[in-house]
Amino acid sequence: MQNDCSTSVPSTPVRIRHRKRSNEVPNEASKVNGNHLLLNDQNKYKSMLIRTYSTVWMIGGFAFTIYMGHLYIWAMVVVIQIFMAKELFNLLRKAHEDRQLPWFRLLNWHFFFTAVLFVYGRILSQQLVNTVTSDHVLYKLVSGLIKYQMVICYFLYIAGFMWFILTLKKKMYKYQFGQYAWTHMILIVVFTQSSFTVANIFEGIFWFLLPASLIVINDIAAYIFGFFFGKTPLIKLSPKKTWEGFIGASFATIISAFLLANIMGHFQWLTCPRKDLSTGWLYCDPDPMFKPEYYSLPGWFPWKEVSILPVQWHALNFGLFASVIAPFGGFFASGFKRAFKVKYSWTWWHY
Protein backbone atom coordinates (compact mmCIF):
# COMPACT_ATOMS: atom_id res chain seq x y z
CA MET A 1 0.00 0.00 0.00
CA GLN A 2 1.55 3.23 -1.13
CA ASN A 3 1.45 6.32 1.11
CA ASP A 4 0.62 9.53 -0.60
CA CYS A 5 3.19 12.08 0.50
CA SER A 6 1.29 14.85 -1.16
CA THR A 7 -1.58 14.76 1.28
CA SER A 8 -3.17 18.18 1.26
CA VAL A 9 -3.56 20.06 4.54
CA PRO A 10 -6.86 21.83 4.88
CA SER A 11 -6.29 25.52 4.61
CA THR A 12 -7.34 27.76 7.52
CA PRO A 13 -8.92 31.02 6.48
CA VAL A 14 -6.79 33.97 7.47
CA ARG A 15 -8.62 36.87 9.12
CA ILE A 16 -7.29 40.18 8.00
CA ARG A 17 -7.91 42.85 10.59
CA HIS A 18 -8.63 46.28 9.25
CA ARG A 19 -7.79 49.19 11.45
CA LYS A 20 -10.89 51.01 12.52
CA ARG A 21 -10.98 54.49 11.14
CA SER A 22 -11.50 57.44 13.41
CA ASN A 23 -14.93 58.99 13.44
CA GLU A 24 -13.42 62.43 13.26
CA VAL A 25 -13.38 64.51 10.12
CA PRO A 26 -10.78 62.85 7.81
CA ASN A 27 -7.74 64.32 6.15
CA GLU A 28 -7.41 67.21 8.60
CA ALA A 29 -3.67 66.82 8.56
CA SER A 30 -3.50 67.48 4.84
CA LYS A 31 -5.13 70.84 5.37
CA VAL A 32 -2.22 72.18 7.37
CA ASN A 33 0.04 72.50 4.33
CA GLY A 34 -1.20 76.03 3.68
CA ASN A 35 -3.59 75.31 0.82
CA HIS A 36 -6.61 75.82 3.07
CA LEU A 37 -5.52 79.02 4.81
CA LEU A 38 -7.85 81.99 4.38
CA LEU A 39 -5.15 83.81 2.43
CA ASN A 40 -5.40 81.15 -0.32
CA ASP A 41 -9.12 80.46 -0.08
CA GLN A 42 -10.86 81.34 -3.36
CA ASN A 43 -14.25 81.69 -1.64
CA LYS A 44 -12.98 83.82 1.24
CA TYR A 45 -14.86 87.00 0.20
CA LYS A 46 -18.18 85.16 0.02
CA SER A 47 -17.47 83.60 3.42
CA MET A 48 -16.51 87.02 4.81
CA LEU A 49 -19.79 88.54 3.61
CA ILE A 50 -21.82 85.78 5.29
CA ARG A 51 -19.85 86.11 8.51
CA THR A 52 -20.23 89.90 8.49
CA TYR A 53 -24.00 89.65 8.01
CA SER A 54 -24.46 87.15 10.85
CA THR A 55 -22.06 89.09 13.11
CA VAL A 56 -24.01 92.33 12.69
CA TRP A 57 -27.27 90.61 13.65
CA MET A 58 -25.69 88.89 16.63
CA ILE A 59 -24.04 92.06 17.93
CA GLY A 60 -27.30 93.98 17.41
CA GLY A 61 -29.28 91.45 19.43
CA PHE A 62 -26.60 91.38 22.11
CA ALA A 63 -26.55 95.20 22.36
CA PHE A 64 -30.36 95.27 22.72
CA THR A 65 -30.18 92.73 25.56
CA ILE A 66 -27.51 94.82 27.31
CA TYR A 67 -29.75 97.89 26.97
CA MET A 68 -32.68 96.03 28.56
CA GLY A 69 -30.64 95.35 31.67
CA HIS A 70 -29.36 92.78 34.16
CA LEU A 71 -32.45 90.58 34.34
CA TYR A 72 -32.63 90.19 30.56
CA ILE A 73 -28.93 89.39 30.32
CA TRP A 74 -29.40 86.66 32.93
CA ALA A 75 -32.39 85.33 30.96
CA MET A 76 -30.21 85.24 27.82
CA VAL A 77 -27.57 83.21 29.68
CA VAL A 78 -30.23 80.72 30.87
CA VAL A 79 -31.65 80.34 27.35
CA ILE A 80 -28.16 79.64 25.96
CA GLN A 81 -27.65 77.09 28.74
CA ILE A 82 -30.89 75.31 27.82
CA PHE A 83 -29.87 75.02 24.17
CA MET A 84 -26.40 73.83 25.19
CA ALA A 85 -27.83 71.20 27.51
CA LYS A 86 -30.28 70.00 24.86
CA GLU A 87 -27.46 69.63 22.33
CA LEU A 88 -25.18 67.80 24.75
CA PHE A 89 -27.95 65.50 26.01
CA ASN A 90 -28.62 64.40 22.42
CA LEU A 91 -24.97 63.62 21.56
CA LEU A 92 -24.80 60.20 23.21
CA ARG A 93 -28.49 59.38 22.96
CA LYS A 94 -29.57 56.25 21.05
CA ALA A 95 -33.08 56.16 19.58
CA HIS A 96 -33.52 52.39 19.95
CA GLU A 97 -32.65 52.41 23.66
CA ASP A 98 -34.73 55.53 24.34
CA ARG A 99 -37.83 53.89 22.88
CA GLN A 100 -37.49 51.16 25.48
CA LEU A 101 -37.09 53.67 28.33
CA PRO A 102 -40.20 55.90 28.48
CA TRP A 103 -39.76 59.05 30.63
CA PHE A 104 -36.01 58.43 30.94
CA ARG A 105 -35.21 61.50 28.82
CA LEU A 106 -37.27 63.68 31.17
CA LEU A 107 -34.90 62.73 33.97
CA ASN A 108 -32.11 64.74 32.32
CA TRP A 109 -34.19 67.89 32.51
CA HIS A 110 -35.19 67.17 36.11
CA PHE A 111 -31.51 67.28 37.07
CA PHE A 112 -30.95 70.34 34.86
CA PHE A 113 -33.66 72.48 36.48
CA THR A 114 -32.63 71.26 39.93
CA ALA A 115 -29.18 72.65 39.13
CA VAL A 116 -30.76 75.92 37.94
CA LEU A 117 -32.61 76.27 41.25
CA PHE A 118 -29.49 75.40 43.25
CA VAL A 119 -27.01 77.67 41.43
CA TYR A 120 -29.14 80.74 40.78
CA GLY A 121 -31.06 80.41 44.03
CA ARG A 122 -27.79 80.96 45.87
CA ILE A 123 -26.53 83.74 43.61
CA LEU A 124 -29.75 85.77 43.28
CA SER A 125 -31.31 85.15 46.70
CA GLN A 126 -30.56 88.65 48.06
CA GLN A 127 -31.75 90.36 44.86
CA LEU A 128 -34.98 88.36 45.02
CA VAL A 129 -35.61 89.33 48.66
CA ASN A 130 -34.94 93.01 47.90
CA THR A 131 -37.44 92.87 45.02
CA VAL A 132 -40.40 91.74 47.17
CA THR A 133 -39.61 93.75 50.33
CA SER A 134 -42.64 96.02 49.88
CA ASP A 135 -45.12 93.10 49.91
CA HIS A 136 -45.21 91.58 53.42
CA VAL A 137 -46.86 88.26 52.46
CA LEU A 138 -44.68 87.70 49.42
CA TYR A 139 -41.62 88.71 51.41
CA LYS A 140 -42.31 86.03 54.06
CA LEU A 141 -42.97 83.39 51.39
CA VAL A 142 -39.78 84.18 49.45
CA SER A 143 -37.71 84.39 52.64
CA GLY A 144 -38.97 80.94 53.69
CA LEU A 145 -38.16 79.44 50.28
CA ILE A 146 -34.67 80.93 50.35
CA LYS A 147 -34.12 79.71 53.91
CA TYR A 148 -34.87 76.12 52.88
CA GLN A 149 -33.51 76.37 49.34
CA MET A 150 -30.63 73.96 50.01
CA VAL A 151 -32.99 71.40 51.56
CA ILE A 152 -35.43 71.71 48.64
CA CYS A 153 -32.64 71.20 46.10
CA TYR A 154 -31.27 68.24 48.05
CA PHE A 155 -34.62 66.44 48.09
CA LEU A 156 -35.18 67.24 44.40
CA TYR A 157 -31.85 65.60 43.62
CA ILE A 158 -32.67 62.58 45.81
CA ALA A 159 -36.02 62.29 44.00
CA GLY A 160 -34.16 62.24 40.67
CA PHE A 161 -31.73 59.62 42.01
CA MET A 162 -34.61 57.36 43.13
CA TRP A 163 -36.34 57.96 39.79
CA PHE A 164 -33.18 56.78 38.01
CA ILE A 165 -32.91 53.62 40.15
CA LEU A 166 -36.59 52.74 39.59
CA THR A 167 -36.21 53.06 35.79
CA LEU A 168 -33.24 50.65 35.54
CA LYS A 169 -34.05 47.96 33.02
CA LYS A 170 -32.36 44.65 32.34
CA LYS A 171 -29.89 44.67 29.42
CA MET A 172 -29.97 48.48 29.51
CA TYR A 173 -27.89 49.05 32.63
CA LYS A 174 -24.71 50.14 30.85
CA TYR A 175 -26.55 52.63 28.64
CA GLN A 176 -28.52 54.06 31.56
CA PHE A 177 -25.51 54.49 33.84
CA GLY A 178 -23.61 56.06 30.94
CA GLN A 179 -26.41 58.59 30.45
CA TYR A 180 -26.51 59.26 34.19
CA ALA A 181 -22.78 60.06 34.27
CA TRP A 182 -23.00 62.09 31.04
CA THR A 183 -25.83 64.19 32.51
CA HIS A 184 -23.77 65.10 35.58
CA MET A 185 -20.76 66.01 33.45
CA ILE A 186 -22.96 68.28 31.33
CA LEU A 187 -24.28 70.05 34.43
CA ILE A 188 -20.71 70.73 35.58
CA VAL A 189 -19.68 72.07 32.16
CA VAL A 190 -22.80 74.21 31.72
CA PHE A 191 -23.10 75.73 35.19
CA THR A 192 -19.56 76.09 36.56
CA GLN A 193 -18.48 79.02 34.38
CA SER A 194 -21.96 80.45 33.86
CA SER A 195 -22.56 80.81 37.61
CA PHE A 196 -19.58 83.18 37.85
CA THR A 197 -20.82 85.04 34.78
CA VAL A 198 -24.25 85.71 36.32
CA ALA A 199 -22.67 86.81 39.61
CA ASN A 200 -20.57 89.33 37.65
CA ILE A 201 -23.63 90.65 35.81
CA PHE A 202 -25.33 91.76 39.03
CA GLU A 203 -22.10 93.28 40.35
CA GLY A 204 -22.19 95.55 37.31
CA ILE A 205 -22.80 94.89 33.62
CA PHE A 206 -19.30 96.26 32.99
CA TRP A 207 -17.76 93.08 34.43
CA PHE A 208 -19.74 90.98 31.97
CA LEU A 209 -19.75 93.24 28.93
CA LEU A 210 -16.03 94.08 28.80
CA PRO A 211 -14.74 90.46 28.83
CA ALA A 212 -17.48 89.36 26.41
CA SER A 213 -16.65 92.25 24.06
CA LEU A 214 -12.95 91.41 24.16
CA ILE A 215 -13.66 87.81 23.16
CA VAL A 216 -15.69 89.05 20.19
CA ILE A 217 -13.02 91.58 19.22
CA ASN A 218 -10.29 88.93 19.46
CA ASP A 219 -12.26 86.53 17.28
CA ILE A 220 -13.02 89.17 14.63
CA ALA A 221 -9.46 90.56 14.65
CA ALA A 222 -7.97 87.06 14.33
CA TYR A 223 -10.21 86.44 11.32
CA ILE A 224 -9.28 89.76 9.65
CA PHE A 225 -5.53 89.44 10.23
CA GLY A 226 -5.64 85.83 9.08
CA PHE A 227 -7.78 86.84 6.10
CA PHE A 228 -5.22 89.31 4.74
CA PHE A 229 -1.86 88.21 6.19
CA GLY A 230 -2.21 84.61 7.40
CA LYS A 231 0.53 82.31 6.07
CA THR A 232 1.78 80.28 9.04
CA PRO A 233 -0.58 77.59 10.43
CA LEU A 234 -1.14 77.86 14.18
CA ILE A 235 -2.70 74.57 15.27
CA LYS A 236 -3.72 71.36 13.46
CA LEU A 237 -7.07 71.30 15.23
CA SER A 238 -8.15 74.46 13.37
CA PRO A 239 -6.35 74.46 9.99
CA LYS A 240 -7.37 78.02 9.05
CA LYS A 241 -5.99 79.57 12.25
CA THR A 242 -2.63 81.28 11.70
CA TRP A 243 0.11 82.81 13.82
CA GLU A 244 -0.36 86.11 12.01
CA GLY A 245 -4.03 86.14 13.00
CA PHE A 246 -3.23 85.12 16.59
CA ILE A 247 -0.52 87.77 17.13
CA GLY A 248 -2.39 90.54 15.33
CA ALA A 249 -5.56 89.83 17.28
CA SER A 250 -3.60 89.89 20.55
CA PHE A 251 -2.36 93.43 19.96
CA ALA A 252 -5.81 94.58 18.78
CA THR A 253 -7.52 93.03 21.81
CA ILE A 254 -5.16 94.52 24.41
CA ILE A 255 -5.43 98.01 22.89
CA SER A 256 -9.22 97.66 22.65
CA ALA A 257 -9.39 96.59 26.30
CA PHE A 258 -7.67 99.77 27.45
CA LEU A 259 -9.89 102.02 25.32
CA LEU A 260 -13.19 100.21 25.93
CA ALA A 261 -12.70 100.26 29.70
CA ASN A 262 -12.50 104.06 29.55
CA ILE A 263 -15.67 104.34 27.45
CA MET A 264 -17.75 101.84 29.46
CA GLY A 265 -16.47 103.14 32.78
CA HIS A 266 -18.30 106.44 32.29
CA PHE A 267 -21.80 104.86 32.14
CA GLN A 268 -23.49 104.20 35.47
CA TRP A 269 -25.86 101.76 33.76
CA LEU A 270 -22.83 99.53 33.22
CA THR A 271 -20.85 100.17 36.40
CA CYS A 272 -23.51 100.26 39.15
CA PRO A 273 -24.36 96.95 40.86
CA ARG A 274 -27.98 95.78 40.75
CA LYS A 275 -29.35 95.02 44.23
CA ASP A 276 -32.73 93.68 43.10
CA LEU A 277 -34.40 92.13 40.05
CA SER A 278 -36.05 95.31 38.78
CA THR A 279 -35.29 96.85 35.39
CA GLY A 280 -35.31 100.54 36.35
CA TRP A 281 -32.47 102.96 35.74
CA LEU A 282 -29.48 102.87 38.08
CA TYR A 283 -27.78 105.64 40.05
CA CYS A 284 -24.86 105.12 42.40
CA ASP A 285 -21.69 106.69 43.71
CA PRO A 286 -19.01 105.40 41.34
CA ASP A 287 -16.51 102.94 42.71
CA PRO A 288 -12.96 104.39 43.02
CA MET A 289 -11.97 102.18 40.08
CA PHE A 290 -14.27 104.25 37.88
CA LYS A 291 -13.09 107.68 39.10
CA PRO A 292 -10.51 109.25 36.76
CA GLU A 293 -6.93 109.88 37.78
CA TYR A 294 -4.93 112.58 36.02
CA TYR A 295 -1.38 112.14 34.73
CA SER A 296 0.85 115.02 33.54
CA LEU A 297 2.41 114.70 30.10
CA PRO A 298 5.78 115.97 28.81
CA GLY A 299 5.80 119.48 27.37
CA TRP A 300 6.11 118.35 23.75
CA PHE A 301 2.65 116.71 23.92
CA PRO A 302 -0.30 118.80 22.64
CA TRP A 303 -2.12 118.06 25.95
CA LYS A 304 -0.86 118.94 29.41
CA GLU A 305 -2.48 115.97 31.15
CA VAL A 306 -4.52 112.87 30.44
CA SER A 307 -7.24 111.22 32.53
CA ILE A 308 -7.18 107.44 32.99
CA LEU A 309 -9.61 105.30 34.96
CA PRO A 310 -7.88 102.86 37.36
CA VAL A 311 -10.00 100.08 35.85
CA GLN A 312 -8.19 100.58 32.54
CA TRP A 313 -5.02 99.09 34.02
CA HIS A 314 -7.03 96.04 35.10
CA ALA A 315 -8.54 95.89 31.61
CA LEU A 316 -5.07 95.23 30.19
CA ASN A 317 -5.07 91.93 32.10
CA PHE A 318 -8.50 91.13 30.64
CA GLY A 319 -7.14 91.87 27.17
CA LEU A 320 -4.12 89.63 27.73
CA PHE A 321 -6.34 86.80 28.98
CA ALA A 322 -8.74 87.19 26.04
CA SER A 323 -5.78 87.13 23.63
CA VAL A 324 -3.78 84.19 24.97
CA ILE A 325 -6.11 81.95 27.01
CA ALA A 326 -9.59 82.48 25.51
CA PRO A 327 -8.70 81.20 22.00
CA PHE A 328 -8.09 77.78 23.53
CA GLY A 329 -11.79 77.70 24.36
CA GLY A 330 -12.40 78.08 20.64
CA PHE A 331 -9.92 75.30 19.90
CA PHE A 332 -11.76 73.11 22.40
CA ALA A 333 -15.05 73.83 20.63
CA SER A 334 -13.43 73.02 17.26
CA GLY A 335 -12.21 69.68 18.53
CA PHE A 336 -15.60 69.02 20.08
CA LYS A 337 -17.41 69.65 16.80
CA ARG A 338 -15.01 67.46 14.84
CA ALA A 339 -15.18 64.62 17.35
CA PHE A 340 -18.98 64.50 17.24
CA LYS A 341 -19.40 65.68 13.62
CA VAL A 342 -21.39 68.75 14.65
CA LYS A 343 -21.23 71.65 12.20
CA TYR A 344 -22.66 74.31 14.55
CA SER A 345 -22.52 73.99 18.30
CA TRP A 346 -24.10 75.99 21.12
CA THR A 347 -21.10 74.89 23.17
CA TRP A 348 -19.09 77.49 21.20
CA TRP A 349 -21.10 80.20 22.99
CA HIS A 350 -19.98 78.76 26.30
CA TYR A 351 -16.30 78.79 25.45
Residue where a domain terminates, one of 203, 232, 264 = 203
Residue where a domain terminates, one of 151, 170, 203 = 203
Q: Is residue 294, in this structure, part of any structural domain at all?
A: yes
Q: Is residue 42, in this structure, part of any structural domain at all?
A: no
For residues 339 and 272, membership in a common domain is answered with yes
Counted domains in the chain: 2
For residues 210 and 332, membership in a common domain is answered with yes
pLDDT on residue 38: 59
For residues 77 and 194, membership in a common domain is answered with yes
Each residue's pLDDT expressed in tens, for the chain with a length of 351 residues: 444 444 444 555 555 555 555 454 444 444 444 455 656 666 767 777 887 888 889 889 999 999 999 999 999 999 999 998 998 898 888 888 888 888 888 999 999 999 999 999 999 999 999 998 888 889 999 999 999 999 999 999 999 999 999 999 998 999 999 999 999 999 998 898 888 899 999 999 999 999 999 999 999 999 899 988 988 999 888 888 899 999 999 999 999 999 999 999 999 999 999 999 988 888 899 899 999 999 988 888 888 899 999 999 999 999 999 999 988 888 888 888 788 777 665 555 554
CA distance 75 to 85: 15
Q: Is residue 130, in this structure, part of any structural domain at all?
A: yes
For residues 127 and 191, membership in a common domain is answered with yes
Q: Which amino acid is at 265?
A: G
Note whether 312 and 271 are within 8 A (CB).
no
pLDDT on residue 34: 44
pLDDT on residue 30: 41
For residues 159 and 170, membership in a common domain is answered with yes
For residues 173 and 254, membership in a common domain is answered with no
For residues 242 and 314, membership in a common domain is answered with yes
For residues 149 and 238, membership in a common domain is answered with no
Residue where a domain terminates, one of 156, 183, 203 = 203
CA distance 249 to 261: 18
pLDDT on residue 212: 92
pLDDT on residue 317: 96
For residues 152 and 280, membership in a common domain is answered with no
Residue 112, CA distances (Å) to 173, 190, 233, 337 in order: 22, 10, 40, 23
Helices (H), 204-309: 206-229, 243-264, 268-271
User: What are the tens digits of pLDDT across the range 68-126?
Assistant: 999 999 999 999 999 989 988 988 888 888 888 888 889 999 999 999 999 999 999 99
For residues 340 and 223, membership in a common domain is answered with yes
CA distance 293 to 295: 7
Rounded to the nearest 10 degrees, how much is the dihedral formed by the CA atoms of 93, 96, 99, 100? -110
Q: Is residue 55, in this structure, part of any structural domain at all?
A: no
Q: Is residue 24, in this structure, part of any structural domain at all?
A: no
For residues 163 and 250, membership in a common domain is answered with no
CA distance 328 to 215: 11
Residue 167 lies in domain: 68-203
247 Cβ contact partners less than 8 Å away, ≥ 6 residues apart: 225
Question: Strands 305-308, 238-242: parallel, antiparallel or unpaired by DSSP?
Answer: unpaired
pLDDT on residue 157: 97
Q: Is residue 26, in this structure, part of any structural domain at all?
A: no
pLDDT on residue 136: 87
Q: Is residue 61, in this structure, part of any structural domain at all?
A: no
Q: Is residue 334, in this structure, part of any structural domain at all?
A: yes
For residues 81 and 188, membership in a common domain is answered with yes
